[in-house]
Amino acid sequence: GESVGLHLPTLSVQEGDNSIINCAYSNSASDYFIWYKQESGKGPQFIIDIRSNMDKRQGQRVTVLLNKTVKHLSLQIAATQPGDSAVYFCAEKAGTYKYIFGTGTRLKVLA
Amino acid sequence: EAGVAQSPRYKIIEKRQSVAFWCNPISGHATLYWYQQILGQGPKLLIQFQNNGVVDDSQLPKDRFSAERLKGVDSTLKIQPAKLEDSAVYLCASSLVGGGTGELFFGEGSRLTVL
Q: What is the pLDDT of residue B115?
A: 97
The secondary structure of chain B, three-state, reads CCCCEEECCEEEECCCCCEEEEEECCCCCCEEEEEEECCCCCCEEEEEEECCEEEECCCCCCCCEEEECCCCCCEEEEECCCCHHHCEEEEEEEECCCCCCCCCEECCCEEEEEC
Contacts of B107 in chain A (CB under 8 A): 43
d(CA B74, CA B107): 13
Q: Do A44 and B43 touch (CB under 8 A)?
A: yes
B5 vs B2: CA distance, rounded Å: 8
Q: Which residues of B touch A99 (CB under 8 A)?
A: 45, 104
Q: For A37-52, how does the pLDDT look when each residue is reduced to its tens digit (9 = 90+)?
A: 999 989 999 999 999 9
* SS3 at position A82: helix
- Supply the pLDDT for residue A60: 93
Cβ <8 Å between B41 and A93: no
Shortest distance between the Cα of A8 and any Cα of chain B, in A, equals 13
Per-position b or e across A35-70, b if 16+ CB within 10 A of its CB: bbbbeeeebbebbbbbeeeeeeeeeeebbbbbeeee
Nearest CA in chain B to A41: B108
CB contacts of A43 in chain B (<8 Å) are 4, 91, 93, 106-109
More confident residue, B63 or A95: B63
| Chain A residues in contact with B44 (beta carbon < 8 A) | 101
pLDDT at residue A2 tops 50:
no
Q: What is the mean pLDDT of residues A6-23?
A: 86
Q: Kindly tell me if the per-residue pLDDT of A89 is higher than 90.
A: yes
Question: What is the predicted pLDDT for the residue at B39?
Answer: 87
Q: Between A and B, how many CB-CB pairs are < 8 A?
A: 58
pLDDT at A26: 82
Confidence (pLDDT) at A86: 95
More confident residue, A97 or A109: A109
- Interface check A98 vs B, CB under 8 A: yes
Contacts of A104 in chain B (CB under 8 A): 40-42
Q: Does B107 touch chain A (CB under 8 A)?
A: yes
When CB atoms are compared, the residue of B43, B55, B103 closest to A49 is: B103
Mean pLDDT by 10 residues, chain B (115 residues): 92 98 94 93 92 91 95 94 97 77 89 97
